[in-house]
Amino acid sequence: MEMIAEIEKIPLFEGLPADQHRDLANIALRKAYKRGGTIFSEGEPGHGFYVVISGKVKIFKLSPEGKEQIIHIFGPGEPFGEVPVFEGRRFPAHAVTLDDTHDCFFPRQAFVDLIKTNPSRALNMLAVLSRRLRRFANLVDDLSLKEVPGRLAAHLLFLSERKDGSDTLELDIPKYQLAGLLGTIPETLSRILTKMTQRGLIEAKGPRMKICDRKGLQELAAGLKRLV
Amino acid sequence: MEMIAEIEKIPLFEGLPADQHRDLANIALRKAYKRGGTIFSEGEPGHGFYVVISGKVKIFKLSPEGKEQIIHIFGPGEPFGEVPVFEGRRFPAHAVTLDDTHDCFFPRQAFVDLIKTNPSRALNMLAVLSRRLRRFANLVDDLSLKEVPGRLAAHLLFLSERKDGSDTLELDIPKYQLAGLLGTIPETLSRILTKMTQRGLIEAKGPRMKICDRKGLQELAAGLKRLV
DNA sequence: TGTATGCTTTGACTTAAGTCAACAAGGGGC
DNA sequence: GCCCCTTGTTGACTTAAGTCAAAGCATACA
Protein backbone atom coordinates (compact mmCIF):
# COMPACT_ATOMS: atom_id res chain seq x y z
CA MET A 1 0.00 0.00 0.00
CA GLU A 2 1.45 3.32 -1.01
CA MET A 3 -0.46 5.21 1.67
CA ILE A 4 2.70 5.28 3.72
CA ALA A 5 4.62 6.96 0.90
CA GLU A 6 2.04 9.70 0.76
CA ILE A 7 2.10 10.20 4.49
CA GLU A 8 5.86 10.54 4.47
CA LYS A 9 5.51 13.46 2.10
CA ILE A 10 3.19 15.40 4.42
CA PRO A 11 5.14 18.23 6.07
CA LEU A 12 2.99 17.89 9.19
CA PHE A 13 4.54 14.50 9.85
CA GLU A 14 8.03 15.41 8.78
CA GLY A 15 10.86 14.28 10.98
CA LEU A 16 8.96 11.43 12.52
CA PRO A 17 10.51 7.95 12.59
CA ALA A 18 9.27 5.33 10.17
CA ASP A 19 7.21 3.34 12.65
CA GLN A 20 5.15 6.40 13.39
CA HIS A 21 4.45 6.93 9.73
CA ARG A 22 3.17 3.38 9.75
CA ASP A 23 0.93 4.12 12.75
CA LEU A 24 -0.49 7.08 10.91
CA ALA A 25 -1.02 5.12 7.72
CA ASN A 26 -2.94 2.56 9.73
CA ILE A 27 -5.51 5.04 10.94
CA ALA A 28 -5.76 7.13 7.77
CA LEU A 29 -8.57 6.79 5.29
CA ARG A 30 -8.33 7.80 1.66
CA LYS A 31 -11.12 9.93 0.22
CA ALA A 32 -11.80 11.28 -3.27
CA TYR A 33 -13.95 14.23 -4.33
CA LYS A 34 -14.96 15.66 -7.66
CA ARG A 35 -14.34 19.30 -8.50
CA GLY A 36 -16.87 21.43 -6.63
CA GLY A 37 -17.63 18.68 -4.12
CA THR A 38 -18.35 19.53 -0.52
CA ILE A 39 -16.00 18.01 2.03
CA PHE A 40 -17.77 19.52 5.01
CA SER A 41 -20.00 22.44 5.85
CA GLU A 42 -19.91 24.99 8.60
CA GLY A 43 -21.59 23.77 11.75
CA GLU A 44 -21.18 20.07 11.06
CA PRO A 45 -19.58 18.05 13.83
CA GLY A 46 -15.99 17.16 12.98
CA HIS A 47 -14.84 13.64 13.62
CA GLY A 48 -11.35 14.03 12.30
CA PHE A 49 -9.15 16.16 10.09
CA TYR A 50 -7.93 15.99 6.51
CA VAL A 51 -4.73 16.38 4.55
CA VAL A 52 -4.79 17.24 0.86
CA ILE A 53 -2.98 14.64 -1.25
CA SER A 54 -3.79 16.10 -4.65
CA GLY A 55 -6.08 18.86 -5.87
CA LYS A 56 -7.19 22.04 -4.14
CA VAL A 57 -9.55 22.74 -1.28
CA LYS A 58 -11.22 26.05 -0.56
CA ILE A 59 -12.12 26.96 3.03
CA PHE A 60 -14.64 29.78 3.25
CA LYS A 61 -17.35 31.55 5.20
CA LEU A 62 -20.67 32.56 3.72
CA SER A 63 -22.73 35.66 4.47
CA PRO A 64 -26.53 35.32 4.57
CA GLU A 65 -26.73 37.00 1.17
CA GLY A 66 -24.36 34.44 -0.25
CA LYS A 67 -21.17 36.47 -0.48
CA GLU A 68 -18.23 34.27 0.31
CA GLN A 69 -15.03 35.14 2.07
CA ILE A 70 -12.35 32.61 1.26
CA ILE A 71 -10.19 31.97 4.29
CA HIS A 72 -7.62 29.58 2.85
CA ILE A 73 -6.97 27.64 -0.28
CA PHE A 74 -5.05 24.48 0.52
CA GLY A 75 -2.98 22.35 -1.84
CA PRO A 76 -1.11 19.05 -1.57
CA GLY A 77 0.47 18.34 1.81
CA GLU A 78 -1.62 20.84 3.74
CA PRO A 79 -3.90 19.78 6.59
CA PHE A 80 -7.34 21.29 7.13
CA GLY A 81 -10.39 20.85 9.30
CA GLU A 82 -8.29 20.30 12.38
CA VAL A 83 -10.03 22.83 14.63
CA PRO A 84 -12.85 20.56 15.89
CA VAL A 85 -10.45 17.68 16.50
CA PHE A 86 -8.97 19.22 19.61
CA GLU A 87 -11.99 21.11 20.64
CA GLY A 88 -14.64 18.48 20.16
CA ARG A 89 -16.96 20.86 18.40
CA ARG A 90 -18.03 21.84 14.94
CA PHE A 91 -16.39 23.02 11.75
CA PRO A 92 -16.15 26.81 11.78
CA ALA A 93 -16.30 27.12 7.97
CA HIS A 94 -17.12 25.34 4.73
CA ALA A 95 -14.74 23.21 2.66
CA VAL A 96 -15.29 22.48 -1.03
CA THR A 97 -12.86 21.32 -3.68
CA LEU A 98 -11.69 23.51 -6.55
CA ASP A 99 -10.41 20.54 -8.55
CA ASP A 100 -10.79 16.80 -8.44
CA THR A 101 -9.18 16.08 -5.13
CA HIS A 102 -7.78 13.22 -3.08
CA ASP A 103 -7.19 13.50 0.60
CA CYS A 104 -6.42 11.50 3.70
CA PHE A 105 -8.79 11.56 6.62
CA PHE A 106 -7.48 11.03 10.16
CA PRO A 107 -10.22 10.08 12.62
CA ARG A 108 -10.21 12.17 15.74
CA GLN A 109 -10.02 9.60 18.50
CA ALA A 110 -7.42 7.42 16.85
CA PHE A 111 -5.25 10.45 16.16
CA VAL A 112 -5.55 11.79 19.69
CA ASP A 113 -4.54 8.37 20.99
CA LEU A 114 -1.45 8.46 18.81
CA ILE A 115 -0.55 11.89 20.11
CA LYS A 116 -0.86 10.69 23.67
CA THR A 117 1.75 8.06 23.00
CA ASN A 118 4.11 10.42 21.25
CA PRO A 119 4.51 14.08 22.09
CA SER A 120 6.72 15.00 19.14
CA ARG A 121 3.71 14.53 16.92
CA ALA A 122 1.96 17.02 19.17
CA LEU A 123 4.75 19.53 18.71
CA ASN A 124 4.44 19.28 14.95
CA MET A 125 0.74 19.83 15.24
CA LEU A 126 1.25 22.80 17.54
CA ALA A 127 3.60 24.32 15.01
CA VAL A 128 1.05 23.91 12.26
CA LEU A 129 -1.70 25.54 14.26
CA SER A 130 0.63 28.35 15.27
CA ARG A 131 1.56 29.01 11.69
CA ARG A 132 -2.08 29.11 10.80
CA LEU A 133 -2.76 31.60 13.58
CA ARG A 134 -0.03 33.78 12.15
CA ARG A 135 -1.60 33.62 8.71
CA PHE A 136 -4.92 34.54 10.23
CA ALA A 137 -3.42 37.53 11.97
CA ASN A 138 -2.11 38.69 8.61
CA LEU A 139 -5.40 38.03 6.89
CA VAL A 140 -7.21 40.08 9.51
CA ASP A 141 -4.90 42.97 9.10
CA ASP A 142 -5.11 42.73 5.33
CA LEU A 143 -8.88 42.76 5.41
CA SER A 144 -9.24 45.55 7.89
CA LEU A 145 -6.25 47.74 7.31
CA LYS A 146 -5.52 47.55 3.62
CA GLU A 147 -7.63 48.52 0.67
CA VAL A 148 -8.21 46.05 -2.09
CA PRO A 149 -5.34 47.24 -4.33
CA GLY A 150 -2.97 46.72 -1.42
CA ARG A 151 -4.23 43.21 -0.80
CA LEU A 152 -3.93 42.37 -4.46
CA ALA A 153 -0.41 43.75 -4.62
CA ALA A 154 0.53 41.70 -1.56
CA HIS A 155 -0.92 38.60 -3.15
CA LEU A 156 0.94 39.09 -6.42
CA LEU A 157 4.19 39.57 -4.53
CA PHE A 158 3.44 36.43 -2.54
CA LEU A 159 2.91 34.45 -5.72
CA SER A 160 6.11 35.84 -7.16
CA GLU A 161 8.03 34.91 -4.02
CA ARG A 162 6.67 31.41 -4.19
CA LYS A 163 8.25 31.23 -7.63
CA ASP A 164 11.62 32.33 -6.20
CA GLY A 165 11.03 35.94 -7.00
CA SER A 166 10.27 35.46 -10.68
CA ASP A 167 8.70 38.47 -12.37
CA THR A 168 6.29 36.36 -14.37
CA LEU A 169 3.59 34.40 -12.69
CA GLU A 170 0.36 32.63 -13.37
CA LEU A 171 -2.79 32.67 -11.28
CA ASP A 172 -3.60 29.13 -10.24
CA ILE A 173 -7.22 29.94 -9.44
CA PRO A 174 -9.82 31.74 -11.56
CA LYS A 175 -10.11 35.46 -10.96
CA TYR A 176 -13.51 35.26 -9.35
CA GLN A 177 -12.04 32.93 -6.74
CA LEU A 178 -9.15 35.29 -6.26
CA ALA A 179 -11.67 38.03 -5.64
CA GLY A 180 -13.18 35.93 -2.85
CA LEU A 181 -9.76 35.31 -1.38
CA LEU A 182 -9.06 39.03 -1.32
CA GLY A 183 -12.41 39.73 0.28
CA THR A 184 -13.90 41.50 -2.71
CA ILE A 185 -15.89 40.80 -5.88
CA PRO A 186 -14.82 40.06 -9.48
CA GLU A 187 -15.84 43.48 -10.82
CA THR A 188 -13.66 45.32 -8.34
CA LEU A 189 -10.74 42.99 -8.94
CA SER A 190 -11.04 43.46 -12.67
CA ARG A 191 -11.07 47.23 -12.39
CA ILE A 192 -8.02 47.23 -10.16
CA LEU A 193 -6.08 44.96 -12.49
CA THR A 194 -6.87 47.35 -15.32
CA LYS A 195 -5.66 50.29 -13.28
CA MET A 196 -2.48 48.51 -12.24
CA THR A 197 -1.75 47.80 -15.88
CA GLN A 198 -2.41 51.42 -16.89
CA ARG A 199 -0.07 52.60 -14.14
CA GLY A 200 2.63 50.29 -15.45
CA LEU A 201 2.80 48.18 -12.32
CA ILE A 202 2.00 44.94 -14.07
CA GLU A 203 1.20 43.43 -17.42
CA ALA A 204 -1.69 41.00 -17.54
CA LYS A 205 -2.90 38.72 -20.27
CA GLY A 206 -5.53 36.41 -18.88
CA PRO A 207 -4.15 34.54 -15.92
CA ARG A 208 -0.52 35.26 -16.69
CA MET A 209 0.89 38.37 -15.17
CA LYS A 210 4.22 40.08 -15.26
CA ILE A 211 5.49 42.30 -12.49
CA CYS A 212 6.89 45.45 -14.07
CA ASP A 213 7.28 47.70 -11.05
CA ARG A 214 8.04 45.59 -8.03
CA LYS A 215 8.81 48.53 -5.81
CA GLY A 216 5.50 50.13 -6.70
CA LEU A 217 3.65 46.98 -5.76
CA GLN A 218 5.54 46.78 -2.49
CA GLU A 219 4.57 50.33 -1.61
CA LEU A 220 0.96 49.55 -2.42
CA ALA A 221 1.05 46.39 -0.31
CA ALA A 222 2.56 48.28 2.58
CA GLY A 223 -0.17 50.89 2.34
CA LEU A 224 2.37 53.65 1.74
CA LYS A 225 0.95 54.59 -1.60
CA ARG A 226 -2.42 54.32 -3.17
CA LEU A 227 -3.55 53.39 -6.61
CA VAL A 228 -4.76 56.62 -8.14
CA MET B 1 4.99 30.86 46.96
CA GLU B 2 1.51 31.47 45.66
CA MET B 3 2.56 31.17 42.02
CA ILE B 4 1.24 27.65 42.07
CA ALA B 5 -2.19 28.83 43.17
CA GLU B 6 -2.33 31.20 40.22
CA ILE B 7 -1.26 28.54 37.79
CA GLU B 8 -3.95 26.20 39.03
CA LYS B 9 -6.52 28.79 38.11
CA ILE B 10 -5.36 29.02 34.48
CA PRO B 11 -7.83 27.16 32.26
CA LEU B 12 -5.00 26.20 29.92
CA PHE B 13 -3.58 23.97 32.64
CA GLU B 14 -6.86 22.72 33.93
CA GLY B 15 -7.17 19.02 34.62
CA LEU B 16 -3.46 18.49 35.08
CA PRO B 17 -2.18 16.68 38.20
CA ALA B 18 -0.61 18.69 41.00
CA ASP B 19 2.98 17.77 40.22
CA GLN B 20 2.64 19.22 36.77
CA HIS B 21 1.34 22.45 38.18
CA ARG B 22 4.50 22.50 40.25
CA ASP B 23 6.65 21.91 37.17
CA LEU B 24 4.95 24.82 35.47
CA ALA B 25 5.34 27.07 38.48
CA ASN B 26 9.03 26.29 38.47
CA ILE B 27 9.58 27.61 34.98
CA ALA B 28 7.14 30.54 35.13
CA LEU B 29 8.28 34.11 35.68
CA ARG B 30 6.05 36.81 37.07
CA LYS B 31 5.94 40.14 35.24
CA ALA B 32 4.17 43.42 35.94
CA TYR B 33 3.25 46.22 33.55
CA LYS B 34 1.71 49.63 33.97
CA ARG B 35 -1.38 50.62 32.01
CA GLY B 36 -0.38 51.36 28.45
CA GLY B 37 2.86 49.41 28.76
CA THR B 38 4.19 47.42 25.82
CA ILE B 39 4.62 43.70 26.41
CA PHE B 40 5.93 42.99 22.96
CA SER B 41 5.84 44.46 19.47
CA GLU B 42 5.20 42.93 16.10
CA GLY B 43 8.30 41.44 14.57
CA GLU B 44 10.16 40.88 17.83
CA PRO B 45 11.46 37.37 18.37
CA GLY B 46 9.34 35.51 20.92
CA HIS B 47 11.14 33.54 23.56
CA GLY B 48 8.09 32.32 25.37
CA PHE B 49 4.43 32.97 25.93
CA TYR B 50 2.34 34.78 28.51
CA VAL B 51 -0.76 34.23 30.60
CA VAL B 52 -2.70 37.17 32.02
CA ILE B 53 -3.02 36.98 35.80
CA SER B 54 -4.76 40.31 36.33
CA GLY B 55 -5.52 43.27 34.11
CA LYS B 56 -6.18 43.42 30.39
CA VAL B 57 -3.97 43.00 27.34
CA LYS B 58 -4.74 44.26 23.86
CA ILE B 59 -3.36 42.42 20.83
CA PHE B 60 -3.44 44.49 17.67
CA LYS B 61 -2.04 45.20 14.24
CA LEU B 62 -1.13 48.66 13.02
CA SER B 63 -1.51 50.09 9.54
CA PRO B 64 1.22 52.40 8.23
CA GLU B 65 -1.06 55.39 8.84
CA GLY B 66 -1.48 54.34 12.43
CA LYS B 67 -4.97 52.89 12.33
CA GLU B 68 -5.15 49.93 14.63
CA GLN B 69 -7.13 46.75 14.27
CA ILE B 70 -7.55 45.08 17.62
CA ILE B 71 -7.37 41.33 17.23
CA HIS B 72 -8.07 40.21 20.79
CA ILE B 73 -8.46 41.65 24.22
CA PHE B 74 -7.36 39.15 26.82
CA GLY B 75 -8.25 39.08 30.50
CA PRO B 76 -7.22 36.96 33.51
CA GLY B 77 -6.50 33.32 32.74
CA GLU B 78 -6.00 33.77 29.02
CA PRO B 79 -2.72 32.94 27.31
CA PHE B 80 -1.25 35.09 24.56
CA GLY B 81 1.89 35.38 22.46
CA GLU B 82 2.07 31.63 21.96
CA VAL B 83 2.44 31.68 18.19
CA PRO B 84 6.23 32.07 18.03
CA VAL B 85 6.77 29.45 20.72
CA PHE B 86 6.02 26.55 18.43
CA GLU B 87 7.16 28.16 15.29
CA GLY B 88 10.44 29.68 16.42
CA ARG B 89 9.72 32.95 14.76
CA ARG B 90 8.45 36.38 15.58
CA PHE B 91 5.37 37.92 17.15
CA PRO B 92 2.77 38.57 14.47
CA ALA B 93 1.18 41.52 16.32
CA HIS B 94 1.64 44.05 19.12
CA ALA B 95 0.66 43.57 22.75
CA VAL B 96 0.05 46.46 25.14
CA THR B 97 -1.80 46.59 28.44
CA LEU B 98 -5.10 48.40 28.89
CA ASP B 99 -4.79 48.39 32.69
CA ASP B 100 -2.09 47.75 35.22
CA THR B 101 -1.40 44.11 34.52
CA HIS B 102 0.32 41.10 35.99
CA ASP B 103 1.20 38.09 33.95
CA CYS B 104 3.19 34.88 33.97
CA PHE B 105 5.83 34.30 31.36
CA PHE B 106 6.68 30.75 30.28
CA PRO B 107 10.05 30.50 28.52
CA ARG B 108 9.90 28.66 25.25
CA GLN B 109 12.51 25.98 25.67
CA ALA B 110 11.57 25.03 29.20
CA PHE B 111 7.93 24.79 28.21
CA VAL B 112 8.63 22.69 25.14
CA ASP B 113 10.68 20.35 27.31
CA LEU B 114 7.76 19.96 29.68
CA ILE B 115 5.43 19.16 26.79
CA LYS B 116 7.80 16.51 25.56
CA THR B 117 7.54 14.73 28.88
CA ASN B 118 3.79 14.98 29.03
CA PRO B 119 1.47 14.88 26.08
CA SER B 120 -1.70 15.80 27.93
CA ARG B 121 -0.30 19.27 28.34
CA ALA B 122 0.11 19.30 24.59
CA LEU B 123 -3.49 18.36 24.08
CA ASN B 124 -4.63 21.24 26.27
CA MET B 125 -2.44 23.56 24.28
CA LEU B 126 -3.79 22.20 21.00
CA ALA B 127 -7.31 22.82 22.24
CA VAL B 128 -6.46 26.41 23.10
CA LEU B 129 -4.93 27.09 19.71
CA SER B 130 -7.87 25.45 17.98
CA ARG B 131 -10.31 27.58 19.88
CA ARG B 132 -8.33 30.61 18.88
CA LEU B 133 -8.42 29.57 15.24
CA ARG B 134 -12.16 29.31 15.50
CA ARG B 135 -12.38 32.80 16.94
CA PHE B 136 -10.22 34.04 14.12
CA ALA B 137 -12.45 32.44 11.54
CA ASN B 138 -15.37 34.28 13.08
CA LEU B 139 -13.45 37.53 13.25
CA VAL B 140 -12.58 37.25 9.57
CA ASP B 141 -16.14 36.67 8.58
CA ASP B 142 -17.30 39.51 10.80
CA LEU B 143 -14.82 41.88 9.26
CA SER B 144 -15.41 40.95 5.69
CA LEU B 145 -19.03 39.88 5.56
CA LYS B 146 -20.81 42.07 8.07
CA GLU B 147 -21.20 45.81 8.18
CA VAL B 148 -20.29 47.69 11.30
CA PRO B 149 -23.82 47.70 12.81
CA GLY B 150 -23.86 43.92 12.49
CA ARG B 151 -20.52 43.56 14.19
CA LEU B 152 -21.61 45.87 16.98
CA ALA B 153 -24.87 43.98 17.45
CA ALA B 154 -22.95 40.71 17.62
CA HIS B 155 -20.62 42.17 20.20
CA LEU B 156 -23.43 43.45 22.39
CA LEU B 157 -25.11 40.06 22.26
CA PHE B 158 -21.81 38.43 23.14
CA LEU B 159 -21.43 40.68 26.16
CA SER B 160 -24.98 39.94 27.20
CA GLU B 161 -24.40 36.22 26.87
CA ARG B 162 -21.29 36.48 29.00
CA LYS B 163 -23.57 37.93 31.68
CA ASP B 164 -25.94 34.93 31.40
CA GLY B 165 -28.20 36.67 28.95
CA SER B 166 -28.83 39.73 31.07
CA ASP B 167 -30.43 42.63 29.22
CA THR B 168 -28.26 45.21 30.92
CA LEU B 169 -24.56 45.31 30.36
CA GLU B 170 -21.59 47.54 30.77
CA LEU B 171 -18.73 48.06 28.34
CA ASP B 172 -15.51 47.09 30.03
CA ILE B 173 -13.37 49.02 27.57
CA PRO B 174 -13.67 52.64 26.43
CA LYS B 175 -15.66 53.18 23.27
CA TYR B 176 -12.69 54.18 21.19
CA GLN B 177 -11.11 50.83 22.00
CA LEU B 178 -14.34 49.08 21.13
CA ALA B 179 -14.23 50.85 17.80
CA GLY B 180 -10.79 49.35 17.17
CA LEU B 181 -12.05 45.92 18.16
CA LEU B 182 -14.89 46.21 15.67
CA GLY B 183 -12.54 47.37 12.96
CA THR B 184 -13.89 50.89 12.75
CA ILE B 185 -13.37 54.35 14.25
CA PRO B 186 -14.99 56.14 17.21
CA GLU B 187 -17.08 58.49 15.04
CA THR B 188 -18.73 55.66 13.19
CA LEU B 189 -19.36 53.72 16.39
CA SER B 190 -20.91 56.75 17.99
CA ARG B 191 -23.25 57.33 15.06
CA ILE B 192 -24.35 53.72 15.02
CA LEU B 193 -25.04 53.68 18.75
CA THR B 194 -27.20 56.75 18.28
CA LYS B 195 -29.07 55.10 15.46
CA MET B 196 -29.60 51.91 17.42
CA THR B 197 -31.03 53.94 20.26
CA GLN B 198 -33.35 55.85 17.92
CA ARG B 199 -34.57 52.58 16.45
CA GLY B 200 -35.35 51.30 19.92
CA LEU B 201 -32.85 48.47 19.79
CA ILE B 202 -30.92 49.58 22.82
CA GLU B 203 -30.73 52.25 25.47
CA ALA B 204 -27.32 53.69 26.17
CA LYS B 205 -26.12 55.98 28.89
CA GLY B 206 -22.37 56.21 28.79
CA PRO B 207 -20.88 52.75 29.03
CA ARG B 208 -24.02 51.10 30.37
CA MET B 209 -26.36 49.71 27.80
CA LYS B 210 -29.68 47.98 27.90
CA ILE B 211 -30.87 45.60 25.23
CA CYS B 212 -34.46 46.52 24.35
CA ASP B 213 -34.97 44.53 21.18
CA ARG B 214 -32.92 41.38 21.34
CA LYS B 215 -34.46 39.88 18.25
CA GLY B 216 -33.70 43.00 16.26
CA LEU B 217 -30.07 42.86 17.32
CA GLN B 218 -29.88 39.21 16.38
CA GLU B 219 -31.21 39.94 12.91
CA LEU B 220 -28.66 42.71 12.53
CA ALA B 221 -25.84 40.45 13.69
CA ALA B 222 -26.91 37.74 11.27
CA GLY B 223 -26.92 40.24 8.44
CA LEU B 224 -30.60 39.62 7.75
CA LYS B 225 -31.59 43.17 8.38
CA ARG B 226 -29.85 46.45 8.13
CA LEU B 227 -29.87 49.50 10.30
CA VAL B 228 -31.78 52.08 8.31
C1' DT C 1 -20.01 24.41 -36.78
C1' DG C 2 -22.90 26.57 -33.62
C1' DT C 3 -24.54 27.23 -29.22
C1' DA C 4 -24.50 26.94 -24.49
C1' DT C 5 -22.14 27.89 -20.20
C1' DG C 6 -19.03 29.95 -17.27
C1' DC C 7 -15.79 33.59 -16.67
C1' DT C 8 -14.38 38.45 -17.30
C1' DT C 9 -14.84 43.17 -18.33
C1' DT C 10 -17.14 47.77 -18.61
C1' DG C 11 -20.32 51.41 -17.38
C1' DA C 12 -23.66 54.01 -14.46
C1' DC C 13 -25.23 54.37 -10.01
C1' DT C 14 -25.55 53.89 -4.77
C1' DT C 15 -23.90 53.63 -0.34
C1' DA C 16 -21.35 52.58 3.97
C1' DA C 17 -17.97 54.32 6.22
C1' DG C 18 -13.83 57.13 6.55
C1' DT C 19 -11.74 62.11 7.04
C1' DC C 20 -11.56 66.57 8.84
C1' DA C 21 -12.97 69.76 12.01
C1' DA C 22 -15.30 71.58 15.75
C1' DC C 23 -17.23 71.16 19.92
C1' DA C 24 -19.26 69.03 24.32
C1' DA C 25 -18.53 66.72 28.57
C1' DG C 26 -16.52 64.50 32.21
C1' DG C 27 -12.99 63.53 35.79
C1' DG C 28 -8.70 64.18 38.14
C1' DG C 29 -5.18 67.02 40.01
C1' DC C 30 -3.80 71.34 41.86
C1' DG D 1 -13.22 76.09 42.28
C1' DC D 2 -10.70 75.99 37.79
C1' DC D 3 -8.17 73.96 34.14
C1' DC D 4 -6.52 70.40 31.35
C1' DC D 5 -6.67 66.17 28.97
C1' DT D 6 -8.88 62.34 27.48
C1' DT D 7 -13.05 60.63 25.63
C1' DG D 8 -17.22 61.09 23.09
C1' DT D 9 -20.48 63.33 19.79
C1' DT D 10 -22.08 65.83 15.65
C1' DG D 11 -21.89 67.80 11.02
C1' DA D 12 -20.25 68.41 6.20
C1' DC D 13 -17.72 66.24 2.87
C1' DT D 14 -15.10 62.51 0.21
C1' DT D 15 -14.27 58.15 -1.43
C1' DA D 16 -13.56 53.12 -2.02
C1' DA D 17 -15.98 49.65 -3.20
C1' DG D 18 -20.38 47.33 -3.80
C1' DT D 19 -24.81 46.64 -6.90
C1' DC D 20 -27.12 46.11 -11.09
C1' DA D 21 -27.12 45.44 -15.84
C1' DA D 22 -25.17 44.39 -20.16
C1' DA D 23 -22.11 42.82 -23.18
C1' DG D 24 -17.65 40.47 -24.56
C1' DC D 25 -14.87 36.15 -24.74
C1' DA D 26 -13.69 31.96 -24.21
C1' DT D 27 -13.85 26.84 -23.83
C1' DA D 28 -16.14 22.82 -24.21
C1' DC D 29 -19.30 19.88 -26.23
C1' DA D 30 -22.77 18.05 -29.10
Q: Could you tell me which of B100, B193, B182, B125 has the C-alpha nearest to residue B148?
A: B182
Q: Which nucleotide is nearest to B185 (CA to C1')?
A: C18
Interchain CB contact of A122 with B (< 8 Å):
yes
Residue-wise pLDDT for A183-210, tens only, equals: 999 999 999 999 999 999 999 988 999 9
pLDDT value of position B118? 81
- Distance (Å) from the C-alpha of residue A166 to the closest C-alpha of chain B? 26
Interchain CB contact of B126 with A (< 8 Å):
yes
Interchain CB contact of A142 with B (< 8 Å):
no
Strands A79-80 and A68-74 come out as unpaired
Which of A63, A131, A146 is closest, CB to CB, to B145?
A: A63
Residue-wise pLDDT for A30-59, tens only, equals: 999 999 999 999 999 999 999 999 999 999
Q: Residue range A140-156: average pLDDT?
A: 93
Interchain CB contact of B159 with A (< 8 Å):
no
Residue-wise pLDDT for A2-14, tens only, equals: 788 889 889 988 8
The HSE-up count of residue A126 (CA atoms within 13 Å, CB side) is: 28
Which of A89, A131, A140 is closest, CB to CB, to B71?
A: A140
- Is the pLDDT reported for residue B4 higher than 80? yes
- Is the pLDDT reported for residue B213 higher than 60? yes
Contact A129 B129 (CB under 8 A): yes
DSSP collapsed to 3 states, chain B: CCHHHHHHCCHHHCCCCHHHHHHHHHHCEEEEECCCCEEECCCCECCEEEEEEECCEEEEEECCCCCEEEEEEECCCCEECCHHHHHCCECCCEEEECCCEEEEEEEHHHHHHHHHHCHHHHHHHHHHHHHHHHHHHHHHHHHHHCCHHHHHHHHHHHHHHHCCCCCEEECCCCHHHHHHHCCCCHHHHHHHHHHHHHCCCEEEECCEEEECCHHHHHHHHHCCCCCC
- Which of B67, B128, B130 should be substituted to probe chain A, the one whose Cβ sees the most A Cβ atoms within 10 Å? B130
Q: How confident is the model at residue B126 (pLDDT cuts 50, 70, 90)?
A: very high
- Distance (Å) from the C-alpha of residue B126 to the closest C-alpha of chain A? 6
Residues B224, A23: Cα–Cα separation, whole Å: 48
Quick check: A123 and B112 in contact, CB under 8 A? yes
Give the predicted TM-score (pTM) of the model. 0.90
State the amino acid at position A117 in one-letter form: T
Q: How confident is the model at residue A1 (pLDDT cuts 50, 70, 90)?
A: low
